[in-house]
Amino acid sequence: MRQLKVEFYVGLFVIAGIAALAYMAVKMGDLNLFEQDNSYQVVGRFTSVSGLKDGASVELSGVKLGKVTSIIYDTERQEAVVTMQVPNTVKLSTDSIASVRTSGIIGDKYIKVTPGGEEDFMQEGDEFEQTESALDIEELISKFVFSTGDDK
């Protein structure tokens, strides 16, 4: 009886611990065990993606639908190459625009996709024709300040 109680509590403890771990891994670690193949990847080339990180969200009309899976630097064309993962259910027309935006002043960077009007849709591996790079607020402010003030 006593032994049974001990085993019961240990079992409960292990289940609780693993549940907590699984919750964190799936919800925050973006561990996708179940939805492997129902998404496709598209690529965007930006002159600057300052502040954008792996795993940042890809939003359409303000709704998070996909995420950034990799950010690399193309040394030849001197651009940042961002790969995004979008679910199959989301169709992006070939003339959609991808732009790097910020949520709030100190918020995370994310990619905003503005749909276009073409009939054709982007396929796996396609590139966005048009992109807008990150707005660097500091740069903007300094430009503004120094262009209106004395020449430096």
Min dist CB 67 to other proteins, Å, is 8
Among 14, 72, 135, 140, binds other proteins (CB under 8 A): 14
Give the chain as a DSSP string.
-HHHHHHHHHHHHHHHHHHHHHHHHHHTS---SS-SSSEEEEEEEES--TT--TT-EEEETTEEEEEEEEEEEETTTTEEEEEEEEETT---BTT-EEEEEESSSSS-EEEEEE----SSB--TT-B-SEEEPPP-HHHHHHHHHHHHS---
Positions 102 through 131 that interact with other proteins (CB under 8 A): 104-108
Q: Among the candidate windows 32-40, 54-62, 80-88, 124-132, which touches other proteins by CB under 8 A? A: 54-62
Residue ranges binding other proteins (CB under 8 A): 6-7, 9-10, 12-14, 16-18, 20-21, 23-25, 27-31, 54-57, 64, 104-108
